[in-house]
Amino acid sequence: MCHFYCDILFINKESVFLYDKFENERGGFIKMAMFTINNMNMSLEGHTQAEILVSLAELATSLNLVVDRDSLVKDYQEREQESTTGFGNGIAIPHAKSNNVKTAAILFGRSTTDIEWQSLDGKPVNTFISLLVPANEGDVHLKLLAQLSRKLVHQDFVEILKRGDTREVLEIINASKNASFTLKHCLVTSSSQVL
């Protein structure tokens, strides 16, 4: 039986995770997505959409977030064929939900040149937020997309994504993941002590 719901932030030495907590008989936690400074590349290599997707896939592979780089590139490309992930204002949200993804994660990157992306506003892209979600975690995928989409209509959020330094981007993306608190905020350390 579910009594209440809240998002909590779980912090250990290397990672910051957003969790959904459901108060049930087991007191279980469902991991949302990982986003650390290691998940960022502020100078992605590539001059085309295909090259940028390869660069993002290489970043994911280097972080051991996926089983296979080429499979992630294929997942990205299949998603782009469904409809563009170019949100507008120079930002794209390439994403993949597949069995190739080991753990839910967010990647962030900027390209050194503007990339044609068939964006909703018809303009090129140079800022990328990539969402990676295992196939069996579709609810996480939808929730992350919804939270980011709501934030991307705010110009101050967009400006930090496009021009902020790594620390500012790290903080604003983690804050946006954390924006759906409903009843209470909980900060939990690796020793599970509630602060």
Q: Which residues of 110-125 are buried (b: 16+ CB within 10 A; e: fewer)?
A: bbeeebebebeeeebb
DSSP codes joined into one string, 102-143: -S-EEEEEEEEEEE----TTS--EEEEEEEEEETT-HHHHHH
Helix (H) or strand (E) holding 59: helix 49-62
The residue whose two tokens read 């794209």 is 92
Which is the catalytic residue, given 3, 95, 141, 154?
95
Would you call 191 exposed, middle or buried from its count of C-beta atoms within 10 A (0-12, 13-18, 19+)?
exposed
What is the Cα–Cα distance from 3 to 6, expressed in whole angstroms?
Answer: 10
The b-or-e profile of 55-93 (16+ CB within 10 A means b, else e) is bbbbbbbebebbeebebbbbbbeebbeeebbbbbbbbbb
Least Cα distance to 185 among 35, 4, 37 occurs for 4
Active site residue 141: no
The catalytic residues are 95
